């Protein structure tokens, strides 16, 4: 279970008699982390957050598996952690279903599971979940567009949506939230296709949209920044202007550093943050479990709604007033 360094300390002492700082009583907490993949800037930041917190100098041995957006590989990785008899398992689930069997195996092995970011919707056999409310993100995008259109005197919304990986809770929630506002306001969603949260697919989908819906759309919603980067390339190539000074309003999610740079330049009108820095909160969950305490089952990350123009100061989402933040260089420099 835990890696003891006593043998290493004895070998070190025998071999080099140096003042090695290895502490014979030190134990490393072994953590298995089954990560979605490496599809986006957001994902890179999420992985780095865990690698920074669960480092050897902090007393951890992080067993990291990049599951490359492959659900079966992710289940195999979790079973591999069970075989390794790790102390804790962290999962960012590629899709939200198909989890109860393997989580039961973790429970039977006595290994606590902490879920981050996306949700598992067909089992609650985990100690805690740390992440975002994706439907709220989608509702916020819709509420912002409603207020922005009113302020700009835009009476008709014809939107194209580039969704995230199909079946992920992020795709499900953002789609549901935005569609709820669209339906309530009589907007038209001309099409809504899977962009898989990556730039290349986002560009491919937008290229197809520019051909199929030429001259018919005035809003594009990309469910993450990397899709938006691809969509911008496609619209530029098709001669479609976008952003604050363009014919098409461009909305994105994640608000990674590069995404906020495009908000500041006016290429992206609004970017709805999804905070990837979950690891410090996961460590708090582990510390509670180590102390025999019961952690909160759900821990929500703090997130902001970023815009280019200061024509609106706030929006109302689910009855709660939420501020809008105009992007500055200082904000860009501080972003993940």
Query: What is the C-alpha separation between 253 and 136, in angstroms, rounded?
Result: 12
Cα torsion 63, 58, 41, 224 to 10°: value is 90
Binding mask 297-336 for ligand GZL (x = CB under 6 A): ----------------------------------------
Instruction: Assess 274 for contact with ligand GZL (CB under 6 A).
Output: yes
User: Does residue 43 interact with ligand GZL by CB under 6 A?
Assistant: yes
Among 119, 133, 224, 335, binds ligand GZL (CB under 6 A): 224
Candidate ranges 11-19, 37-45, 140-148, 302-310; the one touching ligand GZL (CB under 6 A): 37-45
Does residue 117 interact with ligand GZL by CB under 6 A?
yes
Strands (E), the chain: 3-4, 27-35, 60-66, 88-91, 113-117, 128-131, 158-163, 188-194, 219-222, 249-254, 270-273, 298-300, 305-307, 314-317, 320-326
CB of 220 to ligand GZL, least distance (A): 16
CA atoms lying within 13 Å on the CB side of residue 292: 0
217-242 CB burial, b ≥16 within 10 A, e <16 = bbbbbbbbbbbbbbbbbbbeeeebeb
C-beta of 185: minimal distance to ligand GZL in Å? 24
Give the list of residues 6+ apart from residue 318 with CB closer than 8 angstroms, or none. 136, 139
**Shortest distance in whole angstroms from residue 276 CB to ligand GZL:** 7
Q: Are strands 219-222 and 158-163 parallel, antiparallel or unpaired?
A: parallel
Contact 10, 240 (CB under 8 A): no
Q: Which stretch binds ligand GZL (CB under 6 A): 40-48, 101-109, 243-251, 264-272?
A: 40-48
Q: Which of 30, 32, 33, 40 binds ligand GZL (CB under 6 A)?
A: 40
Residues in the chain: 336
Tell me which of 49, 74, 96, 132 binds ligand GZL, using CB under 6 A. 132
Residue 271 Cβ, how far from ligand GZL at the closest point, in Å?
11
Closest to ligand GZL by CB, 29 vs 223, is: 223
Q: Any contact of residue 267 with ligand GZL (CB under 6 A)?
A: no
Q: Return the H-helix or E-strand segment holding 330.
A: helix 329-334
Q: Which of residues 170-189 bind ligand GZL (CB under 6 A)?
A: 170
Beta carbons of 223 and 253 less than 8 angstroms apart: yes
Could you tell me how many residues of this chain bind ligand GZL (CB under 6 A)? 14
CB of 132 to ligand GZL, least distance (A): 6
State yes or no: residue 135 binds ligand GZL (CB under 6 A).
Answer: no
As measured in angstroms, the least distance from the Cβ of 23 to ligand GZL is 38
We find the least distance from the C-beta atom of residue 39 to ligand GZL, in angstroms, to be 5
Q: Does 33 bind ligand GZL (CB under 6 A)?
A: no
Phi, psi of 321, rounded to the nearest 5 degrees:
-75, 130
Q: What's the distance, Cα to Cα, between the start and end of the chain in Å?
A: 34
The secondary structure element, H or E, covering residue 144 is helix 134-152
Beta bridge partners of 129: 115, 298
Residue 283 interacting with ligand GZL (CB under 6 A): no
Is residue 91 a contact residue for ligand GZL (CB under 6 A)? no
List interacting residues with ligand GZL (CB under 6 A).
39-40, 42-43, 117-118, 132, 164, 170, 197, 224, 253-254, 274
């Amino acid at each position: 279970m835990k890696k003891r360094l006593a043998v290493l300390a004895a070998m070190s002492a025998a071999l080099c008699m140096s003042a090695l700082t290895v502490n014979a009583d030190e134990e490393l907490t072994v953590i298995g982390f089954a990560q979605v993949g490496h599809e986006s800037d957001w994902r890179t930041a999420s992985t780095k957050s865990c690698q920074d917190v669960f480092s050897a100098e902090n007393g951890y041995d992080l067993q990291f598996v990049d599951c490359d957006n492959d659900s079966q590989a992710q289940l195999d990785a979790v079973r591999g952690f069970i075989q390794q008899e790790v102390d804790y398992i962290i999962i960012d689930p590629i899709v939200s279903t198909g989890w109860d069997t393997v989580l039961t195996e973790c429970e039977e092995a006595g290994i606590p599971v902490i879920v981050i970011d996306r949700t598992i919707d067909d089992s609650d056999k985990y100690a805690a979940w740390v992440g975002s409310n994706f439907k709220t993100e989608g509702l916020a995008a819709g509420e912002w567009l409603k207020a922005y259109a009113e302020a700009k005197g835009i009476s008709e919304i014809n939107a194209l949506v580039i969704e995230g990986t199909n079946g992920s809770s992020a795709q499900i929630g953002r789609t549901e939230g935005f569609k709820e506002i669209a339906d309530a306001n009589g907007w038209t969603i001309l099409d809504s296709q899977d962009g898989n949260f990556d730039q290349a697919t986002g560009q491919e989908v937008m290229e197809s949209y520019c051909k199929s819906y030429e001259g018919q759309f005035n809003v594009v919603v990309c469910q993450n920044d990397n899709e938006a980067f691809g969509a911008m390339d496609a619209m530029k190539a098709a001669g479609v202007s976008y952003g604050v000074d363009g014919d098409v309003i461009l909305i994105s999610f994640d608000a990674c550093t590069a995404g906020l740079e495009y908000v500041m330049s006016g290429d992206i009108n609004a970017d709805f943050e999804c905070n990837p820095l979950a690891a410090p909160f996961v460590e708090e969950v582990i510390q509670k479990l180590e102390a025999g305490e019961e952690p909160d089952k759900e821990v929500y990350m703090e997130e902001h709604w970023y815009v280019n123009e200061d024509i609106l100061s706030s929006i109302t989402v689910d009855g709660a007033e939420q501020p809008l933040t105009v992007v500055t260089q200082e904000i860009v420099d501080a972003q993940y």
